[in-house]
Structure formats: structure tokens, C-alpha cells
């Protein structure tokens, strides 16, 4: 549901809230995320054809796609095909805040 807590991390304060959901030719989800230092989110791979777009507002996000690690800093954008194994980590010392746009 929109604006309701959808995920809580192992470390207090890490959370995911679905901000918007739009249906056009395909469905699109817009999420607000906050990961506290040391926390991670490891979802199941999505279906073929799905993709994600990320924009980091604060902190630094480590995104692992397959066996490749990507560091996305504040003010940076990253897009990837999410049908492959992927995980989000906060390896830093401050919370990371980012927007996650899932294109289905």
C-alpha cells in the first residue's frame, strides 16, 4: 500500500516505503529507501524484462549485481536489469537514503 511500511531491516531505522505506483503500458513502482550503516536488502531476482533505477540522496549505496559491486554516491543515478541476482548494502558509517524506481 502507498505510504505504508513495506520492509524493515535488521537494524532499527532501515526501512522501505512504497511512494507511488502507476499503471501505464507497464507497471512502475516508486520507492523511498533508507538503509542504516551495516544493513542490507537481498531481494529475489525479478522476471526477465524488469529493470530498476536508483538515485541516492544521502550517503553511499553499494549495489551488487551478479558478481559486480557498484558504489553509488549522493547525487548519482544507476540503472540495471533486475532479473539477475542483486543486493543493496550500506557499507558506510551514515544512513543512505535513495529512491528506487522499479519498471515492470
Q: Which of 4, 84, 20 lies closest to 47 in space, CA to CA? A: 84
What pLDDT, on a 0 to 100 scale, did the predictor assign at position 24? 56
Domain count, the chain: 1
- Dihedral of CA atoms 26, 22, 4, 83 in degrees, nearest 10, equals 20
Of 49, 33, 29, 53, which Cα lies nearest the Cα of 41?
33
In 3D, which of 27, 37, 91 has the Cα closest to residue 64? 91
Give the domain CATH number at 31.
2.60.120.10
By the 8 A CB rule, do 19 and 2 touch? yes
Distance CA 9, CA 14 (A): 5
Q: What is the pTM of this model?
A: 0.84
Q: What is the pLDDT of residue 54?
A: 95
Instruction: Count how many residues are written for the chain.
Output: 104
Q: What is the pLDDT along the chain (104 residues), one digit of tens a residue?
A: 888 999 999 999 999 998 877 655 688 899 999 999 999 999 999 999 899 999 999 999 999 999 999 999 999 999 999 999 999 999 999 999 999 999 98
pLDDT at site 37: 99
Note whether 84 and 65 are within 8 A (CB): yes
Domain hosting 47: range is: 5-103
Amino acid at each position: 500500500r502507498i505510504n505504508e511500511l513495506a520492509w524493515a531491516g535488521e537494524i532499527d531505522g532501515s526501512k522501505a516505503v512504497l511512494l507511488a505506483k502507476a499503471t501505464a503500458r507497464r507497471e512502475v513502482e516508486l520507492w523511498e529507501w533508507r538503509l542504516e550503516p551495516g544493513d542490507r536488502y537481498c531481494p529475489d531476482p525479478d522476471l526477465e524484462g524488469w529493470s530498476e533505477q536508483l538515485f541516492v540522496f544521502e550517503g553511499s549505496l553499494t549495489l551488487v549485481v551478479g558478481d559486480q559491486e557498484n558504489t553509488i554516491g549522493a547525487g548519482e543515478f544507476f540503472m540495471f536489469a533486475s532479473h539477475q541476482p542483486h543486493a543493496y548494502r550500506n557499507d558506510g558509517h551514515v544512513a543512505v537514503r535513495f529512491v528506487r524506481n522499479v519498471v515492470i
